[in-house]
């Protein structure tokens, strides 16, 4: 699958994705994934940052709230439109750009850090994207990204629940089957029935890679792995937001921070 086809999928998803996520239905993001990502993030106040695959800009705005001077890029025009409209209504000094992660329209060494919240695994040419990120970072700076955990969320995953509906195990399969744009269809699990009945499911192109493939790509790009985390919901978070309780059995997300070495 080419970038143009990926962009078409996300453009088709963008209107409902923006509406549903801003209504609070992306519980994994809001209750676990983004807070864990920001907890791992080094101080960014005053730094020039790029948010890669920014979507409708929610996480980009969180970075700006931490004092970063943010630029953000996405391949879907509707995401960029919604992000820009929110920036006009409530300015955070963010510049939004329509573009492709495999061909970043920025000069070498333009940024002090780059982030990618759950976007890199949806890009077709991940080695080239890593190379592009490496290029636009200044020496000594970092790239932090989150992806679906390749070991525990391969192309086939099933949550095993007990008689009370609580997750007690997960079943995984096809881990070694690396996909190149396999379309997955779903909606946020917390979406109310009235919304679900009338909503077109998201069509997500999946580019699954094994953990060893990710490490091979990272090493080849020139980055050094600095930190790796597997977010798990606390007991309190699992009680308040039962949707994320399955992350106490096995991780769903993998967070990595890479560093561009100094010469």
Answer whether residue 59 shows pLDDT above 90: yes
Mean of the pLDDT values across residues 151-174?
92
Nearest to 87 by CA among 53, 63, 57: 57
Q: What is the pLDDT of residue 208?
A: 96
Answer whether residue 263 shows pLDDT above 90: no
pLDDT band (50, 70, 90) for residue 52: very high
Q: What is the pLDDT of residue 167?
A: 87
The pTM is what? 0.95
The fraction of the chain above a pLDDT of 70, given in percent, is: 100
The domain locations on the chain are: 3-259
The phi and psi torsions of 139 (rounded to 5 degrees) equal -60, 140
Q: Among positive and negative, which fits the CA dihedral 200, 192, 185, 122?
A: positive
Which structure tokens are listed for 99? 């573009």
CATH top-level class for 3-259?
Answer: alpha beta
């Amino acid at each position: 699958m080419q970038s143009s086809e990926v962009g078409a999928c996300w453009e088709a998803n963008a209107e409902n994705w923006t509406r549903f996520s801003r209504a609070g239905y992306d519980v994994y993001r809001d209750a676990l994934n983004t807070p864990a990502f920001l907890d791992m993030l080094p101080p960014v106040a005053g730094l020039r940052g790029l948010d890669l695959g920014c979507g409708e800009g929610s996480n980009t705005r969180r970075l700006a709230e931490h004092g970063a001077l943010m630029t953000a890029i996405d391949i879907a025009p509707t995401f960029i439109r919604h992000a820009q409209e929110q920036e006009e209504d409530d300015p955070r000094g963010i510049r939004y750009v329509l573009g492709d992660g495999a061909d970043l329209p920025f000069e070498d060494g333009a940024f002090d850090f780059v982030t990618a919240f759950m976007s890199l695994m949806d890009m077709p040419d991940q080695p080239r994207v890593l190379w592009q990120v490496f290029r636009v970072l200044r020496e000594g700076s970092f790239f932090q990204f989150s992806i679906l955990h390749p070991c525990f969320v391969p192309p086939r995953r099933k949550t095993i629940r007990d008689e009370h509906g609580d997750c007690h195990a997960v079943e995984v399969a096809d881990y070694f089957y690396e996909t190149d744009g396999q379309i997955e269809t779903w909606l946020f699990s917390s979406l109310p029935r009235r919304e679900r009945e009338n909503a077109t499911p998201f069509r997500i192109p999946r580019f699954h890679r094994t953990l060893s493939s990710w490490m091979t790509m990272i090493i080849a790009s020139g980055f050094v792995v600095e930190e790796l985390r597997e977010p798990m919901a606390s007991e309190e978070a699992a009680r308040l937001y039962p949707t994320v309780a399955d992350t106490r059995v096995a991780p769903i997300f993998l967070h990595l921070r890479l560093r561009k070495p100094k010469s």
